Amino acid sequence: MPIPIEIHNGKKTVTVLGMSPLPVHPHLPSSISNTPAENNPEVMNALSSKLGLSPTLQFHDVYSLSGPSEPIIWFKQTIGHACGSIGLLHCLINGTARHHLQPNSLALQIRDAAIPLKMEERAQMLYDNDAFLSAHQSVAEIGDTSAPSADAGDRLGQHFVAFVKGDDGCLWELEGSRMGPLNRGFLGEEGLLSQRGVELGIGRVIDMEKRSGGGDLRFSCIALAGGEE
């Protein structure tokens, strides 16, 4: 329902939720007056949308202006067989992709909740998030292969790893089973699939496997990029 327009001191006054109408100076020329919009992302994104801004660009809360913020957000995996969903989450909530998250979306809620938390608290928060678990389960049967049982999954010996370009311009390897995020080197203006990006990321993993003599190069690779409007 649209926010009602009030008549205040004989003039139209647009009132934004969370704000009170400001008095209109009696000596000012007759005009339509409005109150300052509340400075939060929900209000500014709604107004920006009405003014024609694409939802691919959003306002977000700034939680601190003192000192550098984390270039990436990483989750320690404590949920069994959820490495794929956690890898996907790492891709969505980091880098420029986070600016494409829908307001009030589950991924954005998880990201906002994670920012002030320490590593173990973040892991517990995700572990207790039933909506995240339900989202994972809802797509578990989709794909070209049948979903393995829990016991069979333990024996697969395969894993998901996310490579993300952080706010610091570095390539980060994010895998929930490690001790933390791994900075693989500075990319600057180069992309993840540039020659340097491949050398620092998935190419390095392939070379390590070749040098080890294991001979098992089974892997698949997908990229998060611009899609159809």
Q: Return the active site residues.
A: 83, 159
Whether 164 contacts 91, CB under 8 Å: yes
Closest to 173 measured CA to CA, from 185, 157, 162: 162
Contact by Cβ (8 Å): 48, 67: no
Nearest 5°: the CA angle 15, 18, 20 is 50
Determine how many CB atoms are found less than 10 A away from the CB of residue 121. 12
CA–CA dist 99, 101 (Å, integer): 6
User: Containing H/E element for 108?
Assistant: helix 106-114
State the DSSP code for 48: H
Please name which of 34, 61, 59 lies closest in space to residue 48, comparing C-alpha atoms.
59
